[in-house]
Amino acid sequence: MKKLVCCLAVALIVGCSSTSRMIDSNIDVAELNNGTELSQSKVTVYLNNEGTDRASVRFETRYKSEPNRVHRLYIFDEDVPALKSLLTKVLKDELTVKDMLEPVNFGRDKGVFGQTKSGDKEYVRINTVEGFYLFPESSIPNLINVLNQLQDAAKLKTNK
């Protein structure tokens, strides 16, 4: 009985220490081949560890060309200001080459942020160790909204 109580206590502590919930995002990612858009896939976004010192969002998608592989991108609350600034510059058409050459933090990974054009469409490009992500320009406001939710989740930790 004592072992059972200890196991339940450990399970409760571990289960409560890392929370994750799906948030509405309406974000797509595109696949390009030789400058032509092949397809767009929906991105599922999870808010992790809300109210802790490691709040983050996790983007997950399955590209149509690789349906059995899940691509993930993590963004932590401390990464938000730089990323929001870059996304805002894209919306205002103020992104410079210097901005695209500066590495951007994505949790433990460093990545490169850029802009790609294909025909009459524009995309935000994020390259990380895990892979690359092409977000259509129409997804930028939704990306900013997700980053705002992450900032709000991080504020919970400072108000505790």
User: Mean pLDDT of all residues in the chain?
Assistant: 83
Measured CA to CA, the distance from residue 54 to residue 70 in angstroms comes to: 23
Beta bridge partners of 127: 112, 132
pLDDT score for 98? 93
What whole-number distance in Å separates Cα of residue 66 and Cα of residue 93? 32
In tens, the pLDDT along 71-124 reads: 888 888 888 999 999 999 999 999 999 999 999 888 778 889 999 888 888 999
The CATH class of 19-159 is: alpha beta
Which token pair is 129? Answer: 């160790």
Domain boundaries of the chain, sorted by first residue: 19-159
Q: Quick one: pLDDT at residue 3?
A: 63
Where does residue 67 rank: exposed (0-12), middle (13-18), buried (19+ CB within 10 A)? exposed
State the pLDDT at residue 19: 84
Nearest to 85 by CA among 140, 150, 27: 140
Q: What is the pLDDT of residues 144-158, one digit of tens each?
A: 999 998 888 877 655
